[in-house]
Amino acid sequence: MSGDNHSKAKANLENAIQAKIDHIELNYLRKLMGKMYTCSANCCEQKSSIDQVNLCLEKCAAPWKLAQQFVAKELNNYQERLSRCVSVCNDKAQDELGGRPTDAQVEKASAAFEACADNCIRSHIDLLPGFSRKMEDYLADLLKTSH
């Protein structure tokens, strides 16, 4: 596979990930944020002690914080899986080379790496629907149970 095709595959993956993130942000995270601010405003209307108001504010922010942590963890896990796949490709390419590789061996190993990395990218694009569904299910539950 040529470097140009590899760049296109990488751009396709990045675009697909960004589209999923945008969808989750718009349909779940913003709604959780709105609920947090509405709840927080209600806390500030109470004629309670500042300690009680602060406790109320913390309670309002909890679902939003959980959502942020969960999404960050899932994105990190996804990126780590992709990195591990590409690292395996790199290891295989390195294993193909001897101590003093010829130009032809380097070119062959490089082409093998590119093909392998492209397979990683394609397989991770295929993982996106399940990855997205897992986040959406979690966030939908948070929306239902938040104030």
77-93 pLDDT, tens digit each: 999 999 999 999 999 99
pTM, rounded to two decimals? 0.83
pLDDT for the residue numbered 2: 54
Query: CA dihedral in degrees (66, 127, 84, 92; nearest 10)?
Result: 180
DSSP sequence for 57-86:
HHHHHHHHHHHHHHHHHHHHHHHHHHHHHH
Dihedrals phi, psi of 62, to nearest 5 degrees: -55, -50
28-44 pLDDT, tens digit each: 999 999 999 999 999 99
